[in-house]
């Protein structure tokens, strides 16, 4: 049994049968991190003492027959913008290099209550935005499938650590695709839940209106298990939605008869995509059809429209967040983040308002689509992982993003692996989205696809 | 045809310097030159945003005073 690549579901079964213990699993993963992470730099800080203490507590409770839930005894990592009481939370930035929060983020509180085991704080692009940067106190994380490539961003550490078998699950954040992008290029699963489904309290903001917190795992089933623990209303988060949390695992299983899916035209198949992507998406569509779903074409606004709308809003809010530091210590930001923040100072109020009004219109066009179909599908990345080149130009604005449409609309969207590029052997990924609060539909489709394929069971070799 | 601002000419380096100064930001020359190279992409993006939406097309946020009271 290779502990490194056991899923949350498999670990739970192993605990039930007393085949493994949380302490045994945690020690094995800590050893693996110590042996291999110097090649990937996915961790900013390994919290070994915390992990062993929490593992011993979980083990004692499980041995006593007390099961807190699906995350009990499960090791996890946190993107290092998620605040942890008494443990530095740096944002991967010189500006917060020595910041030690006094309180846990709400999701950390929920994970502690659920018996999770914090293994460490994970690399990110600077403040979940500026990257890949090579001029920060810590190096950028590398992609476990090819260390000369990057793991995407901004949840770069979570993507690399989960794919490398360092943790079965990590918490990422997603403003324009920062969960789904890294999940896509690292060959794992990543869910951006509905805006307001998971509390943002205690997570350093990237924007005020587009930040989402979500799980990154190696299967859709594990996404469901983690989401069950972290989802729910938080009255202290102004964006939190007060609506019931369904049983996400109950939605898994069975075929897909009766489900209607819209394949968005002009997104994954627009010029500039990797040549193997189109055939991979076509094959995924065939699998979903074989499981009983009907697939029809869907038309939405262009990726350029969605990217312009999202980025105008997000850089304006980003500047508001960092204005004071930018005025007083601009040299302490990495070059890429500084040059992404500064434009926000020049966005006029009427431009920001125009983008916010456009956002309503773009979100509404998706609601109209979801009245016709249960889910929309496309790719989760238009290309394979980028090379790790320090002087590569910043492509945030020049390259339209295939994840931003569902950031603009705030609907749930998952990335799951759907193949590998032939020449480079790098992961390709499918993206599935559904109407607000329909995470169960997204997970049902993703799980059914993963029951019929084995892309998610392929793992990178780290030179063992 | 979309109603936007793409017909406007791009800002010159001097105009960019003036806008940064008006925003109250004092950048070292090296950082200013980096920004002057970056800004045109963002300027083009903002100018592609459609204008002239109807009066009832409200921004994608709402002010809910009851939530501030912890309701």
Task: Give the H or E element holding residue A76.
Answer: strand A75-79
Whether B24 and A353 lie within 8 Å, measured CB to CB: no
Mean local confidence (pLDDT), A361-382: 97
Measure CB to CB from residue A355 to each of B26, B43, B49 and give the nearest one.
B49
Cα gap A185→A426, rounded to integer Å = 7
Rounded-to-5 percentages of helix, strand, coil across chain B: 45, 0, 55
Mean pLDDT of all residues belonging to chain B: 88
B20 lies within 8 A of chain A by CB: yes
- DSSP character at residue A378: E
Tell me the per-residue pLDDT of A429-458, one tens digit each, with 9 for 90 and over.
Answer: 999 999 999 999 999 999 999 999 999 999
Indicate if the pLDDT at residue B15 is higher than 70: yes
Q: Does B41 touch chain A (CB under 8 A)?
A: yes
Q: Which positions in chain B touch A312 (Cβ < 8 Å)?
A: 45-46, 49
Q: Is B2 on the interface with A (CB under 8 A)?
A: no
Mean pLDDT of A54-77: 97
Domain ranges (residues) in chain A: 3-304+351-457
Alpha helices in chain B (DSSP H): 13-22, 29-47, 65-68
Closest CA to A85 of A32, A47, A28: A47
Where exactly are the structural domains of chain B? 1-54
Test A397 with B42 for CB contact under 8 angstroms: yes
pTM of the predicted model over 0.90: yes
Q: How far is A60 from chain B (nearest CA, A)?
A: 38
CB contacts of B24 in chain A (<8 Å) are: 327
- Euclidean distance between CA atoms A142 and A38, whole angstroms: 10
A3-304+351-457, CATH topology level: Amidase signature (AS) enzymes (3.90.1300)
Contact B58 A346 (CB under 8 A): no
Question: Which residue in B has a C-alpha nearest to residue A408's C-alpha?
Answer: B60
Q: Is B18 on the interface with A (CB under 8 A)?
A: no
Tell me the ipTM for this assembly: 0.93
Taking CA atoms, A317 is separated from A78, A323, A349, A386, B43, in Å, by 24, 10, 11, 27, 16
Q: Is B7 part of the contact surface with chain A (CB cutoff 8 Å)?
A: no
Three-state DSSP class for residue B52: coil
| CA atoms of B59 and B42, how far apart (whole Å) | 21
Among A124, A95, A92, A118, CA closest to A105:
A118
Q: What is the CA radius of gyration of chain A?
A: 20
| Closest B-chain CA to A359 | B60
pLDDT for position B71: 46
pLDDT exceeds cutoff 50 at B63 = yes
pLDDT value of position B65: 74
- Taking the Cβ of residue B35 and every Cβ of chain A, the question of whether any pair is shorter than 8 Å is answered with yes
Q: Is B54 helix (H, G, I), strand (E, B) or coil?
A: coil
Q: How many CB atoms lie within 10 A of CB A99?
A: 13
Rounded Cα gap, residues A359 and A355, in angstroms: 6
- What mean pLDDT is predicted for residues A41-66? 98
Catalytic residue numbers of A? 79, 154, 178
Find residue A434's DSSP bridge partners: A375
- Give burial (CB, 10 Å; 0-12/13-18/19+) of A164: buried
Q: What is the pLDDT of residues A245-260, one digit of tens each?
A: 999 999 898 889 999 9
User: What's the N-to-C CA distance of chain A in angstroms?
Assistant: 15
The answer to whether the Cβ–Cβ distance between A339 and B46 falls below 8 Å is no
Q: In what order do the strands lie in the sheet with A75-79?
A: A43-46, A117-122, A75-79, A169-174, A212-217, A189-192, A413-420, A427-434, A375-379, A260-264, A294-298
| Nearest CB to B38; choose among A235, A343, A356 | A343
Cα gap A411→A197, rounded to integer Å? 10
Q: Quote the tokens at residue A178.
A: 């920062």
Mean pLDDT for the stretch of residues A311-330 = 94
Distance from CA of B4 to the nearest CA of A (A): 10
Whether residue A338 lies within 8 A of chain B, CB to CB, comes out as yes
Residue A200 has pLDDT above 60, yes or no: yes
| Beta carbons of B53 and A361 less than 8 Å apart | yes
Task: Please give, rounded to a whole number of angstroms, the shortest distance from the CA of A350 to a CA of chain B.
Answer: 10
Select from A101, A162, A149, A157 the least CA-distant residue to A126: A157
| A107 neighbors A82 (Cβ within 8 angstroms) | yes
Q: Rounded distance, CA A417 to CA A339, Å?
A: 32
Cis-peptide into A132, omega within 30 deg: yes
Per-window interface: B 43-62 vs A, CB < 8 A: 43, 45-46, 48-51, 53, 57-61
Rounded Cα–Cα distance for residues A370 and A259 (Å): 12
* Cis amide bond preceding A407, omega within 30: no
Backbone phi and psi for residue A420, each to the nearest 5 degrees, phi listed first: -135, 145
Higher pLDDT, A403 or B61: A403
């Amino acid at each position: 049994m290779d502990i490194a690549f056991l899923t949350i579901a498999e670990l739970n079964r192993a605990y039930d049968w007393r085949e493994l213990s949380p302490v045994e699993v945690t020690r094995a993963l800590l050893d693996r991190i110590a042996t291999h992470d110097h090649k990937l730099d996915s961790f900013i800080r390994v919290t070994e003492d915390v992990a062993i203490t929490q593992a011993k507590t979980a083990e004692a409770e499980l041995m006593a027959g007390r099961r807190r839930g699906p995350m009990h005894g499960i090791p996890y990592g946190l993107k290092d913008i998620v605040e942890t009481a008494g443990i530095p939370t740096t944002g991967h930035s010189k500006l917060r290099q020595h910041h030690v929060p006094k309180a846990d983020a709400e999701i950390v509180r929920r994970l502690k209550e659920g018996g999770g085991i914090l293994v460490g704080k994970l690399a990110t692009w600077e403040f979940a935005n500026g990257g890949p940067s090579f001029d920060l106190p810590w190096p950028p994380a590398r992609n476990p499938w090819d260390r000369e490539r990057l793991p995407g961003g901004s949840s770069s550490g979570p993507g690399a650590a989960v794919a490398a078998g360092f943790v079965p699950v990590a918490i990422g954040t997603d403003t324009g695709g920062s969960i789904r992008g890294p999940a896509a290029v690292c060959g794992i699963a990543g869910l951006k839940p509905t805006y307001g489904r998971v509390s943002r309290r205690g997570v350093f903001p990237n924007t005020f209106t587009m930040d989402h917190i979500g799980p990154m795992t190696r299967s859709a089933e594990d996404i469901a298990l983690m989401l069950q623990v972290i989802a729910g209303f938080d009255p202290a988060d102004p964006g939190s939605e007060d609506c019931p949390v369904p049983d996400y695992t109950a939605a898994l299983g069975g075929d897909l008869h009766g489900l209607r899916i819209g394949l968005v035209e002009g997104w994954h198949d627009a010029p500039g995509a990797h040549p193997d992507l189109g055939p991979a998406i076509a094959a995924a569509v065939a699998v979903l059809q074989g499981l009983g779903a009907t697939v029809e074409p869907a038309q939405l606004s262009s990726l350029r429209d969605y990217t312009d709308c999202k980025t105008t809003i997000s850089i304006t809010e980003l500047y508001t967040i960092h204005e004071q530091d930018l005025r007083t210590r601009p040299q302490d930001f990495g070059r890429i983040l500084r040059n992404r923040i500064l434009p926000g100072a020049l966005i006029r109020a009427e431009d920001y308002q125009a983008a916010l009004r456009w956002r309503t219109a773009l979100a509404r066009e998706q609601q109209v689509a979801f009245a016709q179909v249960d889910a929309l599908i496309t790719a989760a990345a238009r290309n394979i992982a980028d090379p790790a080149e320090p002087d590569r130009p910043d492509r945030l604005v020049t390259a339209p993003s295939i994840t931003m449409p569902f950031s603009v609309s705030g609907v749930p969207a998952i990335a799951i692996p759907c193949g590998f590029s032939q020449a480079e052997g790098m992961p390709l990924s499918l993206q599935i989205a559904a109407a607000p609060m329909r995470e169960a539909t997204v997970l049902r489709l993703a799980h059914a696809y993963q029951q019929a394929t084995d892309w998610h069971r392929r793992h990178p070799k780290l030179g063992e | 045809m979309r109603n936007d601002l793409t017909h406007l000419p791009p800002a010159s380096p001097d105009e960019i310097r003036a806008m940064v100064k008006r925003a109250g930001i004092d950048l070292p020359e090296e950082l200013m030159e980096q920004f002057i190279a970056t800004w045109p992409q963002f300027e083009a993006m903002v100018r592609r945003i459609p204008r002239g939406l109807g009066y009832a097309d409200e921004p994608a946020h709402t002010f809910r005073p009851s939530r501030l009271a912890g309701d």
